[in-house]
Amino acid sequence: MSATAGPAPTLRLRLAARGLDTVTLLVLPAALVILALFLYPFLYGLWLSFRPKDGSLLGNYGRFFSDPFLYDTIWTTMRLAVPVTVLNLLLALPVAFRVRLMRRQRLLTTILILPITLGTVLVAEGMLFYFGAQGWFSRTVMTLGLSSGPVKLTNSYTGVFLSLLITGFPFTFLLTLSYVTGIDSSLEQAAATLGAGPRSRFRHIFLPLLLPGLAITFCLSFVQAYSVFPSAVLVGEPARITRVISIAAYQAAFEEYDYSMASAIAMIMGFTQLAVVVAVLASRQLAYRGPAGGGKG
């Protein structure tokens, strides 16, 4: 009895060795929430999109991609979301680099993130007054003699662009700041003692270490901008230039009462932004993705 192999490990032990034990059960509530609030509506919408009024399986998708009034919305949305996101990143990066060195960091950060708490609608409403034909901006420009007639930045591409920039910036900035401050400052000092000026330090040290984080920031900000709806209606020109894809979905659902078509548009919206996100994240694989520390310490 003595030197033989012990009893085979119980199922519980074998599961525990693979990282599954009773603690794993704590995942359940979250999993249920995701299932009920995300997965079910998505699958239901997907199913619904394949059941158009005319009865064919791909009728909705066929209609969408054959009607320029519908498929142009993809391009219209991209034309807004991509430049806004890129510009936000380009603005957030230098600001984050400056704020990183500041003592009153918290105060400035609070001011910068204020637009987040306002919400899109309030910002859009404010813009209507400020950037409208009778707004302060227009009057200031005229008083300074920079323009003979009133300058109207609302009800146009520019209006939506500005609104997305204002509401998107705080989010982009906060994410960027956390990535920038996550880089060990001794790396920059080491680069400096090795002869690297500010430009080289950014190019050789900061940028490669920041790229993965910037890619994530881009994706999250892009997804936000891509689903633009209130400002496209309020400060845009929703019939033509800023007829974004969410407006097309809204019209299908609540003006034509064609839920099946609306679901199809929502699916197309989801897959087009997924394509951008996947492309950006895939290019992230090319960059270094380890910790941004300088070694032990």
Partner 1 sequence: MTIHAADFRELRLEGMRRAFGTVNALKGIDLRIARGEFIALLGPSGCGKSTALNCLAGLLPLTGGSIWLDDQRIDTRRPEQRGFGMVFQNYALFPHMSVRRNVAFGLLMRGVPKAEAARRVEEALATVRLQAQADKLPGQLSGGQQQRVAIARAIAIEPPVVLMDEPLSNLDAKLRLEMRAEIRRIHEGLGSTTIYVTHDQEEALSLADRIVVMREGEIRQVGTPEELYAQPAHLDVADFMGYRNRLPGRIAGREGGLVTLDMGQGGRLTGTMREPLGETAVIAVRPDDMTTTDENASGVPATVRAIEYRGREFHGIATTSEGIDLFFHTERPVQVGTLVRLAAEPQRALVFAGEAA
Q: Is position 219 an interface residue for partner 1 (rule: CB under 8 A)?
A: no
Q: Is 45 in the site for partner 1 (CB under 8 A)?
A: no
The burial class, CB within 10 Å (0-12 / 13-18 / 19+), for 12 is exposed
214 is a site residue for partner 1 (CB under 8 A)? no
**Minimum distance of partner 1 from residue 150's CB (angstroms):** 50
Between 15 and 187, name the residue whose CB sits nearer to partner 1. Answer: 187
If the CB atoms of residues 147 and 185 are measured against partner 1, the closer one turns out to be: 185
- Minimum distance of partner 1 from residue 25's CB (angstroms): 35
The site string for partner 1 over 56-95 (x = CB under 8 A, - otherwise) reads ----------------------------------------
- Min CB(110)–partner 1 separation in Å: 24
* Residue 147 lies near partner 1 (rule: CB under 8 A): no
- Binders of partner 1 among residues 177 to 206 (CB under 8 A) are 184, 186-187, 189-197, 200, 204-205
Which CB, 55 or 295, lies closer to partner 1?
A: 295
Q: At its nearest, how many Å lie between partner 1 and the CB of residue 255? A: 52
Q: Is 295 in the site for partner 1 (CB under 8 A)?
A: yes
Choosing from 70, 81, 165, 292, the residue that interacts with partner 1 (CB under 8 A) is 292
Cβ-based nearer residue to partner 1, 113 or 192: 192
DSSP string, the chain: --SS--PPPPHHHHHHHTT-SGGGGGHHHHHHHHIIIIIHHHHHHHHHHT--TT--TTHHHHHHHH-HHHHHHHHHHHHHHHHHHHHHHHHHHHHHHHHTT-SSHHHHHHHHHHHHHH-HHHHHHHHHHHHSTTSHHHHHHHHTTS-SS----SSSHHHHHHHHHHHHHHHHHHHHHHHHHTS-HHHHHHHHHTT--HHHHIIIIIHHHHHHHHHHHHHHHHHHHHT--HHHHHTS-TTTTT--HHHHHHHHHHTS--HHHHHHHHHHHHHHHHHHHHHHHHHHTTS--S----S--
The number of residues that bind partner 1 (CB under 8 A) is 27
Of 254 and 288, which has the nearer Cβ to partner 1? 288
Residues in contact with partner 1 by the rule CB under 8 A: 184, 186-187, 189-197, 200, 204-205, 208-209, 287-288, 290-297
